[in-house]
Amino acid sequence: MSIKVDIQLDAKGLSCPMPIVKTKKAMADLVDGQILEVSATDKGSKADIAAWAESVGHQYIGTVEEENVLKHYIRKCSDDTMDEKTFERTIALEVAMKREGLILDVREEAEFAFGHIEGAKSIPMGELEVRLSELNKEQEVYVVCRTGQRSDLAAQKLVAHGFTKVFNVLPGMTSWTGHLTKHI
């Protein structure tokens, strides 16, 4: 399939948050209505890029997978796009571990399988909206990913669906020095 695009961005081999970082930079150089194609191999980039585009006002058109490469298509909607929001309620991982609540890991299944905090619940970012019923709105939820970027978007999504006790864990699993549970 050939889709007419204005700019192509190669983010293959990069993991979160780099596909988003490069996408943000490339979008800044586009004019209203132009389409960016982002080629990535990070499976989580599908949910990440869609959520980011929505949060800043660009149109996420869709993703096509070709030979293990995800091609994401985003249209720049306006030079007046919304300022990027960051989730305000953050918590350090070591502090979250001392509190009662749910550690919600929004990394991809493979990342979770190769090492996660014992007792954490895995719901990859791309599945979050369809699995909200698995979460308790009355419980504190500590959202974690690798760096804090994906968990920021997931925390915003939870609040948009009526969750009020949500915290984004910063900087994420990259700072975790405790025991990792593996399911491989």
Residue 115, by phi and psi: left (phi above 0), alpha (psi -120 to 50) or beta? left
From the candidates 9, 11, 15, 16, give the one annotated as an active-site residue. Answer: 16
Nearest to 16 by CA among 64, 49, 59: 49
| Number of Cβ within a 10 Å radius of residue 138 | 8
Q: d(Cα 95, Cα 89) in Å, to the nearest integer?
A: 13
Catalytic annotation present for 77: no
- Collect all residues with Cβ–Cβ distance below 8 Å to 95 and sequence separation of at least 6: none
Catalytic positions, please?
Answer: 16
